[in-house]
Structure 1
């Protein structure tokens, strides 16, 4: 696992300094994660984008974190989500396959961090449901869901796509595990219109337990 990137390290990696108090418009996909977070103030109560490094080693927001979840029970939200994908009743979900590098912005620690939990649902053929979960606090997690689409030119021979279909698949599964699904929900990702158009249907959802 590669180390977490602090704001200072990410900024140093592109050889530029960014004033934290600076204001700017929405950040483009080609900016470094430090610039994007500071300039666009993208990352709010939940992390909103999944970051990956490009060929030059710069980290860019490339995928939507499209499900927000809150656990109002006595348990921790992350543990409740993990339980919903584990056990003999959920053997179709697995963690055995390797993951490509993915990070989300941790606002409190001011660094990019890997998912706290990742799981896939294999099937014959293409389009496996793939889920990354980040622990926001005891009551909340942020979830990115996509379908793995075979792509020999990509790392691990697949790329993420069909975010809306994947988010709804996750919601259906967690709904069966006692979560309430709010489907009339919208997430502001803070990215340009061109990227939103490429993403298409992100399937924004809110889950409560």
Structure 2
């Protein structure tokens, strides 16, 4: 954890160390907080209630399903660290602008996060491709595409989305189809409930690495 004095002078080496530590902490933090487990258990409980009335069983989740969900949570958490935490916690120094410091930090964070996900086998998971253009009445057509890509997901959240609401819509889209593509229209609402826990997780992680956020009224 950096002191306020250290936080006012972010060198490349300190930024690199902090970004790499955040990336390395993310998957263990997701596992420890059991965000994906809670998502699956909530989905299972809701699904059982509905399907039991029709004498049907809920869809069983595979190992690939679990990895796909972990990837989506990790990608969105990386986006939140880059968008919300880095700009608030990295103070400008005398040589570079604040934007340049944040851009440098985020570049290291993205590269290390990709390595972490690759080592964990998360980037071997295939993308779910689906067609929902006809709406619920027309049913959902889907197939598996190429491997998931952290770069593509972050590019979507940070560049193609127009504001926070658009990014949230993209996140719930990805989580809902990862959770159960056949029941996408029902799981989309469920996915939205897990945005706040992921935001809380990224703030707690940033506190561990950077220290309390003084710009938000935190105390050192």
TM-score, with length taken from structure 1 = 0.28
The structure with higher relative contact order (CA 8 Å, sep 6+) is 2
Of structures 1 and 2, the larger Rg is shown by 2
Name the structure where strand makes up a greater proportion of residues: 1
Name the structure where helix makes up a greater proportion of residues: 2
